[in-house]
Amino acid sequence: MAGEDHRVTQVHSKCRLRVEMGGGLNLAFTFFFRDQHVLERVVDHVLPRLAGLSHPRFWDAGVAMGQEPYTLAIIVAEKMSHFSFANLRIDSTDVEDTGQFARIVEAGEYPDEELTRLPEGIRQKYFEPSARPGYLRVIDSIRRRIAFQRHDLLTCKEIGAGYSLVLCKNVLLHFQPSERIEVLRMFHRALAPGGLLATEQTQQLPPELAPLFRRVTPDWPVYCKAEGDGCES
C-alpha cells in the first residue's frame, strides 16, 4: 500500500510479529530451550571471559516473551557458581510497545503445558507453582537476573556498554542488508573488548565488518570483538 513501509522493521522478537500485505498478523512463538546446544556452546565460550568481572552483563536482543533470556540464565546457572551468578545481569530487549511482553517477562509466568518438554530436572529445579491456575513461575533467583526494557534495534543506539555477550538470534534476517550492518556496528560498540556476539546460523558477518569481529567457533556464528585483549577462541 502506498505510503507504508512493508519491510519488517517492527519485528525484533522471536515471536515473528509480522505485518502482512493484507493487514493480518502472523505469530510464530518461540519456546524454552530452543537451540539448546547452541546456547550451551555460547555459554561455554563466554564464561571464561567473565573471570575477574564483579558484575558481568549480557544483552539479549529481540526476546519476545522471555523464553530465551530465561533459558540462557538457567544454562548459565547450571555452569556457574551461585555467588558469581548472583552478580550477573541479562538485559533483555524487544521493540514491542504495548507493554505485554514486558509484563510477561517481569512476571516470569508461563503455561504449564509449555514446560512439559524441558530437559530432565529443569522444570523441578527452576520453576515453581504460580498463583495463576495452569501456570508455573520461574524461580526468584533466575528472575532477578533478567531486566527487560523496550528497545528498537533500528535506532542503532546501544542500551549500554561493556557487555560480555550480545545475543541476537532469529532477528537480523528480517532487516535489509544496510540495516544489519548498522545494527551489528551498534552491537560492536556495546561489547566490552573481547566480548562475544552470537547471531543466527543464517546470518554471516558482512565483509564490511570483518575488521571488527573475529569468529571463535566454526560451526555457529559466534564472534569476538576484535579490539583489545581476550579474543582467543
Q: CA 30, 164, 191 angle in degrees (round to 5)?
A: 95
Q: Are 156 and 183 in contact (CB under 8 A)?
A: yes
Question: In the chain, what is the straight-line distance between the N-terminal and C-terminal CA atoms, in Å?
Answer: 48
pLDDT of residue 232: 57
Say which residues have a Cβ less than 8 Å from residue 73's Cβ, sequence separation at least 6: 88, 90, 142, 145, 146
Residue 166 CA to residue 177 CA, distance in Å, equals 19
pLDDT of residue 17: 38
Phi-psi label, residue 148: left if phi above 0, alpha if psi -120 to 50, beta otherwise:
beta
Mean pLDDT by 10 residues, the chain (233 residues): 37 37 40 93 95 95 96 97 96 95 97 93 97 97 98 97 96 93 97 95 88 91 80 57
Domains of the chain (ranges plus CATH)? 18-225 (3.40.50.150)
pLDDT of residue 219: 85
